[in-house]
Amino acid sequence: MATSAEVQPPRKLVLVVAAALLNSEGEVLLAQRPKGKPMAGLWEFPGGKIDPGETPEGALVRELREELTVEVEEQNLLPLTFASHAYDSFNLLMPLYVCRDWAGVPSGAEGQKLAWVDSTKLGTYEMPAADIPLIGPVQSAMKEINDVGK
C-alpha cells in the first residue's frame, strides 16, 4: 500500500524572511500586498525571499531597503519566531525578526500601502495564512517591551 508521501510529489520549499518593525507608540508596521501579486490586498509583515547565498538577516536588510526605503543594520534584527506553512503548491518557511531601530521613514517603494497598527489589533487585518501564527509572538514581544519601559 502506498503512503501519502509516495503519492504526493514533493513540494518546493520557499524561504522568505520578515520583520516586525516596532515603533515607540506600541505599533507594528504592516504592508498590503499590491495588485498583481499573489495574495494581493492581504496585509503582511514586510520582507521577502532569501536569495541563494544570502543569510536571512542579509536578505531582510536588502528587502527592507528595497520595499520600505529604510536602512537596517543586521545587529538590530532580533530573531523572534518562525512560521512554516504548506500552501497548495509550495511549503513556506519564514523566520520573523523584531526590529526597533532603523534609519529613514518607511514608505511603500513598490506601490504597497503601509499601516502602523496597534499590536492588539493585528488580528483584525486580513493576512496570508503563514503570517497569522506570527501575531501572538509579536503581541507578546510588544507587551514585554512595554512592560520593561514602565
Instruction: Please give the residue that has the higher pLDDT: either 7 or 42.
Output: 42
Instruction: Please give the residue that has the higher pLDDT: either 147 or 132.
Output: 132
φ, ψ of residue 31 to 5 degrees: the values are: -120, 140
State residue 146's pLDDT score: 74
φ, ψ of residue 133 to 5 degrees: the values are: -65, -10
52-106 per-position pLDDT tens digit: 999 999 999 999 999 999 999 999 999 999 999 999 889 999 999 999 999 999 9
Question: Beta-carbon neighbour count of residue 4 at 10 Å?
Answer: 6
Domain boundaries, the chain: 12-148
What torsion, rounded to 10 degrees, do the Cα atoms 91, 20, 26, 127 define?
-30
- Going by the DSSP 8-state scheme, the letter that residue 22 receives in this structure is B
State residue 5's pLDDT score: 52
Regarding the domain delimited by 12-148, which CATH topology (the fold level of the hierarchy) does it fall under? Answer: Nucleoside Triphosphate Pyrophosphohydrolase (3.90.79)
- Which residue is listed with cell 538590530? 76
Q: Is the pTM of this model over 0.85?
A: yes
State residue 4's pLDDT score: 53
What sign does the CA torsion over 99, 141, 45, 28 have? negative
